Structure 1
Amino acid sequence: MSANINTNNGTRNMNNSHERPPNYNQNIEQQLASQEKKTAYRRTVDHGNNMGRWHVIRSLGIDDQPIGKVRPESSYLMDLLPSPAYASNSVRHNKNNAVVLDTQTKFVHLSSNKAKHSINTVKWTPEGRRLLVASHSGEFTVWNGMTFNFETIMQAHDSAILSLKYSHNDDWLLSGDQSGVIKYWQPNFNNVNILNGHNDAIRDIAFSPNDSKFLTCSDDSTLKIWNFNNGKEERSLVGHHWDVKAADWHPDLGLIVSGSKDNLIKLWDPRSSQCITTLHGFKHTITKTKFQKTGTKRLLASVSRDRSCRIFDLRAMRDIFVLRDHETDLSCVEWHPVHASMITTAAYDGSMIHYVLDSHISENSIKNDSTNSSTSSAEPTHKIPYAHEKAIHALEYHPLGHLLCSAGADRSARFWSRARPNDPMALQDALYTNDKVGAWYYAVNNNINAVIEHNTPSNTTSTLTPSAGSDGSSSFVLPGLNNLTNNREANQNGFGSIPGLRGH
């Protein structure tokens, strides 16, 4: 019987050998297209490589990466460590502003649904593997946090979802919609409770430090404190005279902040329901207010439609920074989860600006005399002028701090990461030049953070370009260092005032 089976198999193989392969009848264009499709790389951001390298370095007893370890060359990407490696701590207080190495400046991916709707809020799942997007249609859309692929979609609310919040213990998710409904969700998106919280839209939700209570604010001009276990209202905070657009509960202290359309920011005691103080610095609607997430946790950031962002110090009870670098009204603000001094603001024109607050200390902030009450202003660390085509409604950092997600009225969620060292096309993306034609987001970078040579004639020459000084002598201007002033000794040696070169 085995001989018959072998004979039959041999006959079948001989017959198949005379058949043409299925791809033989395809023309050359189809074959090339299929080959290109197989070799296409999936966009991904793998945080495991530099995280593993960081743990190996720490196991060797090296806790601090010296400045200059990462050189302006793409191969030094392997020396770029994860966000916690550059965090300030008791040993290193932002040494040499190493936090600037961890600024999210490079566009990674654009994610949008087939049936597109405006996005009001986004949240990373607590473990950081997925991104949850809540749209104006009341749908939850889940995207993969590493490959940015679509995973699932579900109808969560009957009206627009305006607020999302995970509990501190990562076990629960709360969502609030435009009709005032609050829903409890488990991590697997099983809906277990529904509350009719307000008579109008719920703009923000925040948990108490121990997750036993949560806070909601609404366009009905009130804030409410709820018992999480039984879903009953415990207190109502009344004092605003118009819609309450933003609120937050301090992660450690018994302190609540709220921002309203009446241009006021109020600090509340959640135990007595009393307003502690009112801040009158803004001249228009407050759109978002948030407590500092890490570090001392004693700063409060608020943005308003008067085009300003104010950083309020809870210890000194005054504004220490007023940031006015946007050209239009500000829509949202977000603290970095690892770097206590880094903050990101976004505006209604689709622009984003990163700040490092302790990178510059002006003379006004050093003076302690009572006659000078002026606040200082930090210089923008990085600006992305055309991050979105319309207003940005949400900013959310990955729990590890290596990714930033932004979403808004242009009905898309966009991911941002750190750029490779010395990427010549870093500032030539459509997000910086506004050259957005067709599906431009597919042409930005086929491989994540890929370094693509700039082939324009202007870059065929050396990157060191001579320029004439004020005294007629020639010097060299390096890209990115043109804000440094030249001196005579440096010009005589043929270089600008570049730190560390000393004319050699």
Structure 2
Amino acid sequence: MRKLTQRRAVDYTSTAVRYMQTQMWQRDCRDRTGLQSTPAAAIDMLPTVAYSDNPSTSFTAKFVHTSLNKNRCSINCVLWTPNGRRLITGSQSGEFTLWNGQSFNFEMILQAHDQAIRSMVWSHNDNWMVSGDDGGAIKYWQSNMNNVKANKSAHKESVRDLSFCRTDLKFCSCSDDTTVKVWDFARCQEERSLTGHGWDVKSVDWHPTKSLLVSGGKDNLVKLWDAKSGKELSSFHGHKNTVLCVKWNQNGNWVLTAGKDQIIKLYDIRAMKELESFRGHRKDVTALAWHPFHEEYFVSGSFDGSMFHWLVGHETPQIEVPTAHDNSVWDLAWHPIGYLLCSGSNDHTTKFWCRNRPGDTARDKFNMNQNQGYGEHNTNLGGRLPGNFPVFDQPSGPGGPFVPGLTRNEGTIPGVGAAMPLSLDSPLHGDQSHSLPLSMTLGAPPLPPGPHPSLLNPNQQQHRYQQNSQQQQMPPLPMPPPNMQQLQPPPHLPLLPHPHLPRPPQMPPHGMSGSLSNPSMPGPLPPMPGQREL
């Protein structure tokens, strides 16, 4: 009987639902809810497409799961299905393995090729998949993994890469036989063969919108081709060793290349020159992958098993995962939503990586305590956001400043975010704030002097209770001021009766006897100034 185990799952449904709700009232990024660095803010997370202005929210450096086949062999290529529900891996044994895209469990295995699988690609209409192997064969597959056509003599040697054009009417392939071929997809016939590389062609990619191909090979060259005429348009001579990967950016202007010289280069076809070089890998760069939504964000894999996360405009990697795999990383694939990254390696494993949730810390064995915060909590990208706030470092150790009433839970306040450190020796920001004296101790208020009431005998407790009750009584009313007589109203102004008090006795007016006066009737008013008496 199999033992039930709890399997970790990563689901993007909640973020998509939240995004659809915010679309009803959100105008632009200014109305977006800011993510605080607390676990409670995970309910406000949105898909990666919602954070187009901040690629740091899509850094997939958090390890999720490792998938391993029973037949231990190298994973040469990985590819997500168009709906993102499954991942397809192509192995050295020629097998397709389907893994669940949320719980990462095994679903199906299929013997697809007789030799090692080297390349796989989906058409843009999501209906067809094309794969190539070491024997030079190219096969067509439907979305249900039904093989409908096979061309076993497409190339004389290994098929290294495949790519579809925008209309899906044609696709291209490259091989170790030094050729790049353009194929008619419907007839599965070769239209033209592009010869210009002097050695093996390791990678090829079709332009997102134009009839333009880019290829890289063992002759250290990156070439641009016209797919209609088959002519070579230009060559880049930037690399000093074999070019292993070439990738078009979604904007159609940038070409990313990498090779055995451990350098990643970015070319702009508008100016036909190199824009930037990315250095950091210590071994051959074997895999590249652009993020599906963030134009400037890409990930690279190396021969030593490391994975680096880069941003265009930054020469150094934003995140380094030096021990992502135990052997070379052969392929990288982004989930269509952009929240998961899959890597296939020569160590026979397929690993899944996801983005961090708010409040997560990089404490696993694959990360070296690197900052992967959201929004303004990322120190590398906080200055890029409009209207950002200064970033404060959180207290690192138990001996750091401590705010009374809060725990030492990484300096965070639930529902608020990162707590600003309390400075004890320097004034806070502002002219009206003052620094706290060093003699002032932070913490709970001191206890009253004397022993605790529970330690006293009953007589002492009663005596102390009487003293406390006397001290808590209301103080006596203050004495009337000495000029109270002067504050009385003048005698010629009568006192108005109080509605709830008895009427005070009144004196009879001058010149009249007390018997003739009616105490209930008020006396006549004195004459006004300037008025003659009658």
| Match for residue 260 of structure 1 among 199, 210, 217 | 217
3-state DSSP class of the match of 1:59?
A: coil
Q: Partners in 1 of 2:435 and 2:66 — Cα distance?
A: 45
Residue 236 of structure 1 is matched in structure 2 by 193
Asked if 1:430 corresponds to 2:395, the answer is no
Letter in 1 for 2:234: T
Instruction: Give the AA of the match of 1:116.
Output: R
1:336 corresponds to which residue? Answer: 291
**Residues 463-502 of structure 1: matches in 2 within 5 Å?**
493=426
Residue 336 (structure 2) aligns with: 399
Alignment of structure 1 residues 162-177 onto 2, 5 Å = 162-177=118-133
Aligned to 1:134: 90
Q: Give 1:279's match in structure 2, choosing from 236, 255, 259.
A: 236
Aligned equivalents of 2:241 and 2:61: distance in 1?
29
Q: Does 1:205 align with 2:142?
A: no
Query: Which residue number in structure 2 is paired with residue 454 of structure 1?
Result: none
Alignment check: 8 A CA contact 2:18 2:45 kept: no
From 71, 74, 78, the counterpart of 1:115: 71
Deviation at 1:80, TM superposition (A): 2.2
Equivalenced residues, count:
390
Shift of 1:464: 5.5
Work out which of the two has the higher radius of gyration on C-alpha atoms and give 1 or 2: 2
- Matched to 1:320, the amino acid is L
Q: Matched residues in 2 for 1:503 and 1:65: separation?
A: 35
Indicate conservation of the 8 Å contact 2:33/2:44, yes or no.
Answer: no
3-state secondary structure, aligned to 1:235: strand
Q: Secondary structure at the match of 2:23?
A: helix
Task: Name the TM-score, length of structure 2 as normaliser.
Answer: 0.69
Asked whether the equivalents of residues 75 and 90 of structure 2 are also in contact (C-alpha less than 8 Å), the reply is yes
CA shift at 1:64, angstroms?
1.5
Q: CA deviation at 1:492?
A: 6.0
Name whichever structure is richer in helix by fraction. Answer: 1
- The alignment status of 1:103 with 2:103, answered yes or no, reads no
Give the Cα separation in 1 of the matches to 2:241 and 2:289. 19
Give the structure 2 partner of residue 186 of structure 1.
Answer: 142
Pick from 24, 37, 45 the counterpart of residue 80 of structure 1.
45
The secondary structure found in structure 2 opposite 1:204 is strand
Aligned to 2:306: 351
Letter in 1 for 2:46: L
1:236 and 1:103 map into 2 onto residues whose CA distance is: 39
Aligned partner letter, 1:331: T
**Distance in 2 between residues matched to 1:41 and 1:66, nearest whole Å:** 38
Q: Residue 113 and residue 502 in structure 1: after superposition, are their counterparts in 2 closer, same or farther (change >3 A)?
A: farther
Match in the other structure for 2:349: 412
- The offset of 1:66, in angstroms, is 6.4
Distance 1:463 1:228, change over 3 A: farther
Q: Tell whether the 8 Å contact from 1:118 to 1:410 is kept in structure 2 after alignment.
A: yes
Equivalent residue, structure 2, for 1:385: 322
2: distance between equivalents of 1:464 and 1:202?
A: 61
Residues 232 and 422 from structure 1, CA distance in 2 versus in 1: closer, same or farther, beyond 3 angstroms? same
> 2:173 is matched with which residue: 207, 212, 216?
216
Contact 2:96 2:109 in 1 (8 A): yes
Of the three residues 167, 188, 205, the one matched with 1:248 is 205
CA contact (8 A) 2:61 2:367 kept: no
CA gap 1:102/1:492 in 2 versus in 1, 3 angstroms: same
Contact 1:464 1:478 in 2 (8 A): no
Q: Tell me the C-alpha RMSD between the 2 structures.
A: 2.7
Contact 2:169-2:186 at 8 Å conserved across structures: yes
Q: Are 1:386 and 1:433, in contact at CA under 8 Å, matched by a contact in 2?
A: no
Matched-pair contact (CA < 8 Å) for 1:112–1:412: yes
In structure 2, the partner of 1:157 is: 113
Measure, in 2, the Cα distance between the counterparts of 1:345 and 1:141. Answer: 23
CA shift for structure 1 position 502:
12
Could you say if the C-alpha distance between residues 49 and 143 of structure 1 is closer, same or farther in structure 2, counting changes exceeding 3 Å? same
Q: Give the aligned partner of residue 26 of structure 2.
A: 61
Identity over aligned residues, as a percent?
40
Q: CA deviation at 1:411?
A: 0.6
Amino acid at match of 2:40: S
SS of corresponding position for 1:101 = helix
Inter-partner Cα distance in structure 2 for 1:204 and 1:494: 61
Q: Is 2:279–2:316's contact at 8 Å kept on the other side of the alignment?
A: no
Q: Quick one: structure 1 residues 385 and 41, their matched pair in 2 at CA, closer, same or farther if it must change by over 3 Å? A: same
Provide the rounded CA distance (Å) in 1 between the counterparts of 2:30 and 2:177.
51
Q: 1:460 to 1:319 in 2, by over 3 A?
A: closer
Equivalent in the alignment of 1:145: 101
CA contact (8 A) 1:165 1:205 kept: yes
Corresponding residue number in structure 1 for 2:374:
none
**CA displacement at 1:272 relative to structure 2:** 1.1
CA distance in 1: counterparts of 2:424 and 2:396, whole angstroms: 24
Letter in 2 for 1:405: C
CA distance in 2, matches of 1:297, 1:133: 28
Give the structure 1 partner of residue 80 of structure 2.
Answer: 124
